[in-house]
Structure 1
Amino acid sequence: MDFTSFIHIFITLISIMNPLGVIPIFLAITADQSAHQKRSSIKRTVTAVILILLISAYGGNYLLSFFGIDIDSFRIAGGILLLLMSVHMLQAKTPTVKTNENEQSEAVEKEDIAVVPLAIPLLAGPGSISTVILFSSSMPTLIDKLALGIIIAVSGLLILPTLLLSKPIGKRLGSTGLNIATRIMGLILASISVKFILEGVLHFLKGNI
């Protein structure tokens, strides 16, 4: 795979995780935490996100094989899932496949919110997991798979400064700015999801003609 393909993967992951869109939720569920507690939560969140996505990328295909799911069917299902997410993002809403209002309310009362709900399902949710599995399945060489791991790590590490600076970013952009960023990410994600669906359908048809 060439450099352009890896840039495409990076942009896709950032669009799906949408760390800017997580800022309002993060500020709400960490309102009662001290600065030290927030930093600790953010570090654990980043670590969890990277580990979850790496395990999914390198072990997801084995799981699909265990359940007898072919990659074309999974590509179509993953594309539909991302399309549903993108529709919510275009409306500047948190996708319900990530979290809903009840789960967000419960998160406010939890002492440790680093892994659940911040890491999963808000950042490393079903969309992110299915996407890294799909990208991993299209990489035949070990070097490509290692490069995917690096992209996952870099994408996860970008969450760190975003959440550490969540308060000034939130104040500077405001609700309107954050909503605009979410809509842009949603538009990118909609295009990617359609591509996944079309690729899955075309490969399925080729294999059955």
Structure 2
Amino acid sequence: MMDEWGYYLKFFVSLVAVVNPPGIIPIFIDASRGMNSSERKQTGDLASYTVFMVLTLSLISGDAIIRFFGISIASFRVAGGVLLLLSAISMLQAKLSPEKQSEEEAIDLESRKSLAVVPLGIPLLAGPGAISTVILHAQKHLNIAHYFSLFIVITALSALVWCLLRLSSLIALKIGKTGINLITRIMGLIMAAIGVEFIASGLKQFFPGLG
């Protein structure tokens, strides 16, 4: 039982590192500039709901996607690990990964009426790295109990995102840009370790002799 709790706690920490809610706070504050308190809350609510829906759909449909394209779990682990490493390198420099936000999306950020969904919800929060992480963990056990446990973790993560966006102004005031950058770098280090673990696991499946 303790091993199971440890596994799902690890999954939660992985998602927090990949989604990196504190890192989105400066962008959220900038994007919501000019909104009143009610509008800002609605934007944060919709962004966190988008994270919940995207990751839940990834959990439900991930196995079907892999089967449809004929992708082996080993290949997906290596590809997902490389993607996480690329994102981690950007986070260690306290920057947004290009996989999360392109130059066009950054320029167009303020002009989007649906910025809570795109680009805040996806891809800035629920980006390719988070989606890959959910799909890979979903493949560990193909049973209802495992999927339900992952769903609970996704729900907890979405609640955390909701809380942080609700408190974004206060958090930014208390810890400042330097504090947010420090948290982002720590999350990047954790994400890099997760990426290496995914790659190593995939390579072991490709080359059993490495184990």
Report the TM range for the smaller structure's normalisation: over 0.9
Is the Cα–Cα contact under 8 Å of residues 45 and 115 in structure 1 kept in the other structure?
yes
Residue 206 of structure 1 deviates from its aligned partner by 2.6
> SS where residue 100 of structure 2 aligns?
coil
Deviations 1:56-109 (CA, angstroms, capped at 9, x unpaired) = 011011111111111110110000000000000000101110003431220111
**In 2, Cα distance between the equivalents of 1:25 and 1:45?**
12
**Which residue in the other structure is 2:169 paired with?**
167
**Which residue in the other structure is 2:208 paired with?**
206
Residue 144 of structure 1 deviates from its aligned partner by 1.1
Residue 7 of structure 1 is aligned with which of 6, 9, 19?
9
**In 1, Cα distance between the equivalents of 2:180 and 2:104?**
22
Residue 19 of structure 2 is aligned with which of 17, 20, 31?
17
**Which residue in the other structure is 1:30 paired with?**
32
User: TM-score w.r.t. structure 1 length?
Assistant: 0.96
The percent of aligned pairs where both chains have the same amino acid is 40
**Which residue in the other structure is 1:191 paired with?**
193
Q: Which amino acid aligns with 1:107?
A: L
**In 2, Cα distance between the equivalents of 1:35 and 1:100?**
28
Is the Cα–Cα contact under 8 Å of residues 50 and 152 in structure 1 kept in the other structure?
yes
**In 2, Cα distance between the equivalents of 1:173 and 1:203?**
43
Q: Which amino acid aligns with 2:131?
A: I
Deviations 1:167-191 (CA, angstroms, capped at 9, x unpaired) = 1111111111010000000000000
Residue 139 of structure 1 deviates from its aligned partner by 1.8
Q: In the comparison of the two structures, how many residue pairs are matched?
A: 207
Structure 1 residues 80-89 or 94-103, which shifts more?
Answer: 94-103
Residue 154 of structure 1 deviates from its aligned partner by 0.5
**Which residue in the other structure is 1:73 paired with?**
75
Q: Aligned Cα RMSD in Å?
A: 1.2
**In 1, Cα distance between the equivalents of 2:129 and 2:178?**
25
Residue 93 of structure 1 is aligned with which of 85, 89, 95?
95
**In 2, Cα distance between the equivalents of 1:105 and 1:35?**
24
User: TM-score w.r.t. structure 2 length?
Assistant: 0.95
Structure 1 runs (4+) deviating above 6 angstroms are none
**In 1, Cα distance between the equivalents of 2:83 and 2:110?**
27
1:114-129 counterparts in 2 under 5 A? 114-129=116-131
Q: Where in structure 1 are there 5+ consecutive unaligned residues?
A: none
Residue 140 of structure 1 deviates from its aligned partner by 3.0
**In 2, Cα distance between the equivalents of 1:64 and 1:11?**
24
Residue 110 of structure 1 is aligned with which of 88, 109, 112?
112
> SS where residue 207 of structure 2 aligns?
helix
Is the Cα–Cα contact under 8 Å of residues 18 and 185 in structure 1 kept in the other structure?
yes
Q: Which amino acid aligns with 1:71?
A: I
1:130-169 counterparts in 2 under 5 A? 130-169=132-171
Structure 1 residues 80-89 or 135-144, which shifts more?
Answer: 135-144
